[in-house]
């Protein structure tokens, strides 16, 4: 039995899947299997996964489209390892990532979710000079709700026992349990992390380093912000009954952080109107992001305003001045 199962959800990822699988097979820790879940792709995703099955550690499961949460749930159900990692089919793992997490979990029996930072890359795999540097210790449900230190779905390696603790089966589901909520097409990861933190005693803890390369696709970012915000609000509504006092107390600050994040996405997509609306809505909700992270919050507001007033030309000028600032 492999020690680790790496679940790779894949939907129309023919362009990037080979690179993802190659990076996973290059892990320095070798006792693992890879379960690729083809979630109803219409391109060559399945054929590419099949081409890697000369390595007996690679398995392919095909299913009708259930979304990212459904693909992850299928992978967890099929996993043989007592540790389960996730790598989306357009992301990459550094060769030493799995070894770092296995060593961390072996040394820390109370930790259920191990994660690390991520470097951001573009569609062509080039580094974007941006990274997710998460809080590594002292993480509780409040930290996850506000700042989600796990960062993205390709960052964590999680004990199977954690998923056993949160498993549930909707009345209409006869095939397998749910761990991620398949009614969510966005915010499904943070919903799962907060639920783990609120309903189990497992600890969240990170290891140093940028061990995942997390791909940010160009174009269409700002258009998705309204859908993502709606999904986030649905997540808050679902989880509030688990701890009404905490959720009510933290919701304004958490919503402000979420709106600031969405404003930054809109800035990346050159949508000044949407970015400005998001950052001003954030500050109406709570001043906590400005107090706790003033530089990031002010930078976001300035970038959003510059885009709204002058478009990309003003932004380019600001970036040039910043690059030459001593």
pLDDT for position 218:
66
For 86, the token pair is 């996730």
Eight-class DSSP state of 110: T
Report in angstroms the alpha-carbon separations of 286 from 75, 139, 187, 267, 282.
39, 21, 21, 21, 6
Report the distance separating Cα 68 and Cα 11, nearest Å: 8
Report the distance separating Cα 21 and Cα 113, nearest Å: 23
- Return the CA Rg of the chain: 20
For 156, the token pair is 């964590």
256: Cβ contacts below 8 Å, ≥ 6 apart: 282, 283, 285, 286, 287, 288, 289
CB 191 within 8 A of CB 258: no
CB 98 within 8 A of CB 220: no
pLDDT for position 70:
96
Q: Compute φ and ψ for 31, nearest 5 degrees.
A: -85, 75
272-311 burial by CB neighbour count: b if 16+ within 10 A, else e? Answer: bebbbbbbebbbebbebbbeeeeeebeebbebbbbbbeee
CA atoms within 13 A on the CB side of 102: 19
| 81-114 tens-digit pLDDT | 999 999 999 999 999 999 999 999 999 999 999 9
Report the distance separating Cα 83 and Cα 80, nearest Å: 9
Percent of the chain beyond pLDDT 90? 83
| 230-248 tens-digit pLDDT | 999 999 999 999 999 999 9
| 191-230 tens-digit pLDDT | 999 999 999 999 999 999 999 999 987 655 555 788 889 9
Neighbours of 126 (CB within 10 A): 9
Q: Compute φ and ψ for 113, nearest 5 degrees.
A: -125, 115
Specify which residues 9 forms β-bridges with: 37
CB 300 within 8 A of CB 290: no
Nearest to 187 by CA among 266, 131, 254: 254
Tell me the three state secondary structure of residue 111.
Answer: strand
| 286-322 tens-digit pLDDT | 999 999 999 999 999 999 999 988 765 555 544 443 4
Percent of the chain beyond pLDDT 70? 93
Indicate the pTM of the whole model: 0.90
E strands along 180-249, which residues? 203-215
């Amino acid at each position: 039995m492999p020690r680790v199962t790496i679940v790779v959800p894949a939907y129309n990822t023919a362009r990037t899947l080979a690179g993802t699988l190659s990076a996973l097979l290059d892990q320095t820790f070798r006792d693992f299997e890879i379960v690729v879940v083809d979630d109803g792709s219409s391109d060559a995703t399945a054929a590419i996964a099949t081409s890697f099955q000369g390595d007996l550690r690679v398995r392919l499961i095909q299913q009708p489209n259930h979304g990212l949460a459904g693909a992850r749930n299928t992978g967890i159900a099929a996993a043989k390892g007592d540790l389960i990692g996730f790598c989306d089919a357009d992301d990459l793992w550094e060769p030493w990532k799995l070894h770092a997490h296995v060593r961390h979990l072996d040394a820390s029996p109370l930790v259920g979710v191990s994660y690390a930072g991520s470097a951001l890359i573009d569609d062509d795999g080039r580094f974007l000079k941006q990274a997710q540097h998460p809080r590594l210790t002292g993480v509780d449900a409040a930290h996850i709700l506000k700042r989600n230190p796990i960062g993205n779905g390709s960052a964590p390696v999680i004990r199977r026992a954690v998923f056993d603790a949160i498993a549930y089966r909707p009345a209409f589901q006869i095939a397998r349990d749910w761990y991620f909520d398949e009614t969510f097409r966005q915010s499904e990861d943070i919903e799962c992390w907060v639920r783990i933190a609120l309903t189990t005693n497992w600890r969240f803890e990170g290891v140093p380093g940028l061990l995942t390369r997390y791909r940010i696709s160009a174009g269409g970012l700002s258009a998705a912000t309204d859908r993502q915000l709606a999904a986030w609000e649905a997540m808050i509504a679902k989880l509030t009954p688990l701890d009404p006092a905490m959720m009510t107390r933290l919701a304004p600050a958490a919503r402000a952080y979420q709106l600031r994040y969405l404003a930054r996405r809109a800035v990346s997509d050159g949508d000044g109107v949407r970015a400005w609306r998001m950052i001003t809505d954030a500050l109406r909700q709570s001043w906590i992001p400005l107090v706790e992270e003033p530089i990031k919050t002010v930078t976001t507001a300035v970038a959003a305003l510059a885009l709204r007033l002058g478009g990309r030309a003003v932004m380019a000028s600001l970036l040039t001045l910043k690059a030459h600032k001593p």
